């Protein structure tokens, strides 16, 4: 761990001196400008807002090609990610406001369809590259280290319609070509790269992630594992290529932390939780160890799933091992043997934990467990690249936004992080999710707010768009100024 104070016994005391205090957003949830400057259709552009459904059921799951085409033609529905918060035009002012918290790092993504509008284009879109170069320059000008995600649910729609998303082998080369164009353009300006956001989400964000239309494959479950295999191979190739382009580049694998605790102490439930968690580790095991682990081979066999390795895939995985581990952390769950045997990997809510309105259990202690587990498993530097509380914030008549619930949530998670550092975990950075309000990933709504900065827009895009710091903004500024010592 770099820049860390230790006590007489060598136990780290507090956060490292060079700790990355940041915030994270995604291009598709913030930028808007969905048809400007040569950008093509991306998967996020067809995420329909479903305010008629309960909050926990608004996520876009699987899609067919007919549904994709319907959403592309639809002029009556509301598609909030097409507008975002207009970050494409307001980024300079927004970054200045975010820098006011003292953040020294900022994570965002490159929209693939802004660089290669159709995905299979021969040459990149210069206007897209120029925009991201200006954006990165502004991030750095505001004193923040850019952490850039190359794939964050922004696959060009054409790769779904003309191919089969990540299920198609051609997509590997298309993705490597895209990443090469971006990395060469931003060499010397970006050090930290996350190749794929939450690569293990092949259920909750299956279509948004993999772009596999359900009607184009015979066995969707089989297709998902083949698709994510192709994606992991592509990520490894990008990592190897990036190291050759700039030896200072560092590449991270990113998971959505989805581990489960056993529902009881019955041995069968303990085993079920172990097996569930192994299949969450599968993706980072491949990225950080360079090969398929034995438990994954058996699990896929038991499910009747055969993953085809193309020529050179095994070598690509061995050569393109990631440099650091990163993950998003929002909630935990429990699972029992019956659920696991029945194929239910979602598990159940822990009755000992409170949950948000969207059903996400709040478990700060689980973050300390997760950090220790990842460190013990990989012995690689770790970044928490997303963490936050989605809630309904109220803009008061006097223009203030009071969010003590968010401060409490973040405080308790930062305390858990501090304890994990004392445990010996090499934690390098923390990125609060949505430091400025953006459109929700899963439910495509503005009402589910995470930010330290309120954006005056509602679920239908109505409002002034004005940016208003919440109480949590001043709190995060104190936290960063004290390097995590003052969490009150």
Q: Which of 22, 26, 145, 86 is nearest to 467 (CA)?
A: 86
Q: Are strands 105-109 and 192-196 parallel, antiparallel or unpaired?
A: unpaired
The answer to whether the beta carbons of residues 19 and 423 sit under 8 Å apart is no
**Which pLDDT score is estimated for 409?**
97
Q: What CATH topology corresponds to 20-481?
A: TIM Barrel (3.20.20)
Looking from the CA of 82 toward its CB, the CA atoms found within 13 Å total 17
pLDDT at 348: 87
* pLDDT, tens digit only, all 488 positions of the chain: 455 678 777 888 899 999 999 999 999 999 999 999 999 999 999 999 998 887 666 666 789 999 999 999 999 999 999 999 999 999 999 999 999 999 999 999 999 999 999 999 999 999 999 999 999 999 999 999 999 999 999 999 999 999 999 999 999 999 999 999 999 999 999 999 999 999 999 877 789 999 999 999 999 999 999 999 999 999 999 999 999 999 999 999 999 998 999 999 999 999 999 999 999 999 999 999 999 999 999 999 999 999 999 999 999 999 999 999 999 999 999 999 999 999 888 888 899 989 888 888 899 999 999 999 999 999 999 999 999 999 999 999 999 999 999 999 999 999 999 999 999 999 999 999 999 999 999 889 999 999 999 999 999 999 999 999 999 999 999 999 999 999 99
Q: How far apart are CA 276 and CA 338, in angstroms?
A: 12
CA angle 175, 181, 183 (to 5 degrees): 95
| Residues 25 and 87 sit within 8 Å (Cβ to Cβ) | yes
What pLDDT, on the 0 to 100 scale, is given for residue 2?
52
> Looking at residue 203, what is its pLDDT?
78
Q: What letter would DSSP give residue 456?
A: -
Secondary structure element (H or E) that encloses residue 472, with its range: helix 471-481
| Distance from chain centroid for Cα 344 | 23
Question: Taking Cα atoms as reference points, which of 323, 340, 322, 235 lies closest to residue 280?
Answer: 340
- pLDDT score recorded for residue 157: 98
pLDDT of residue 56: 64
CA dihedral 126, 129, 133, 135 (to 10 degrees): 120
Burial 202-241 (b: 16+ CB within 10 A, else e): bebbbbbbbbbbeebbeebebbbbbbbbbbbbbbbbbbbb
Give me the pLDDT at residue 384, please.
98
Instruction: Give buried/exposed letters for 422-432 (b at 16+ CB in 10 A, else e).
Output: eeebbbbbbbb
CA 411/CA 423 separation, integer angstroms: 19
- With tokens 């899963």, the residue in question is 442
Q: What does residue 294 show for φ and ψ, rounded to 5 degrees?
A: -60, -40
Contact assessment for residue 42 and residue 113, using Cβ atoms and an 8 Å cutoff: yes
Would you say 358 and 390 are in contact if contact means Cβ atoms under 8 Å apart? yes
Residues 6+ apart with CB under 8 A from 408: none
**274: enclosing H helix or E strand:** helix 267-289
CA distance 439 to 287: 30
Cα 401 to Cα 391: distance, rounded to the nearest angstrom: 12
Indicate the length of the chain as a whole number: 488
Please state, as a whole number, how many other Cβ atoms lie within 10 Å of the Cβ of residue 131.
Answer: 23
pLDDT of residue 11: 87
**Two tokens at 357?**
């309105």
Q: Where are the domains of the chain?
A: 20-481
- For 373-397, the three-class secondary structure string (H helix, E strand, C coil) is HHHHHHCCCEEEEECCCCECCCCCC
């Amino acid at each position: 761990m770099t820049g860390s104070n230790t006590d007489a016994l060598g136990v780290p005391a507090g956060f490292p001196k060079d700790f990355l205090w940041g915030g994270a957003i995604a291009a598709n949830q913030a930028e808007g400008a969905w048809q400007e400057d040569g950008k093509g259709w991306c998967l996020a552009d067809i995420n329909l807002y479903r305010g008629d459904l309960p909050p926990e059921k608004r996520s876009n799951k699987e899609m067919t090609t007919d549904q994709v085409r319907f959403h592309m033609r639809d002029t009556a529905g509301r598609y909030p990610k097409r507008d975002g918060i207009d970050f494409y035009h307001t980024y300079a002012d927004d970054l200045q406001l975010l820098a006011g918290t003292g953040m020294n790092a900022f994570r965002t993504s490159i929209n693939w369809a802004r660089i290669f509008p159709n995905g299979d284009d021969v040459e990149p879109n210069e206007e897209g590259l120029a925009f991201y170069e200006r954006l990165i320059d502004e991030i750095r000008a505001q004193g923040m280290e850019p952490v850039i995600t190359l794939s964050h649910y922004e696959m060009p729609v054409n790769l779904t319609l003309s191919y089969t998303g990540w299920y198609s082998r051609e997509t590997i080369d298309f993705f490597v070509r895209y990443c090469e164009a971006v990395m060469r353009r931003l060499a010397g300006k970006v050090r930290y790269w996350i190749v794929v956001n939450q690569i293990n989400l092949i259920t909750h964000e299956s279509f948004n992630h993999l772009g596999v239309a359900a009607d184009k494959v015979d066995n969707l479950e089989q297709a998902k594992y083949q698709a994510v295999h192709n994606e992991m191979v592509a990520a490894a190739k990008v990592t190897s290529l990036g190291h050759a382009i700039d030896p200072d580049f560092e590449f991270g694998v990113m998971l959505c932390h989805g581990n489960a605790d056993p529902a009881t102490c019955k041995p069968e439930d303990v085993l079920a939780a172990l097996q569930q968690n192994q299949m969450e580790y599968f993706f980072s095991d491949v990225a950080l160890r360079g090969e398929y682990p034995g438990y994954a081979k058996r699990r896929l066999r038991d499910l009747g799933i055969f993953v085809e390795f193309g020529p050179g895939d095994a070598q690509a995985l061995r050569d393109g091992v990631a440099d650091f581990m990163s993950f998003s952390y929002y909630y935990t769950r429990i699972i029992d043997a019956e659920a696991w045997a029945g194929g239910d990997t979602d598990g159940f809510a822990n009755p000992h934990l409170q949950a948000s309105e969207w059903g996400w259990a709040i478990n700060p202690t689980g973050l300390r467990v997760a950090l220790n587990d990842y460190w013990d498993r990989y012995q690689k530097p770790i970044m928490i690249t997303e963490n936050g509380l989605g809630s309904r914030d109220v803009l008061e008549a006097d223009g203030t936004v009071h969010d003590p619930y968010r401060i409490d949530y973040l405080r308790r998670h930062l305390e858990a992080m501090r304890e994990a550092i004392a445990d010996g975990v090499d934690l390098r950075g923390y990125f609060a999710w949505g430091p400025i309000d953006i459109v929700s990933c899963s439910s495509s709504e503005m009402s589910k707010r995470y930010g330290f900065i309120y954006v005056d827009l509602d679920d239908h895009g109505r409002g002034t768009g004005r940016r208003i710091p919440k109480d949590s903004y001043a709190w995060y500024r104190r936290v960063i100024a004290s390097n995590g010592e003052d969490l009150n």
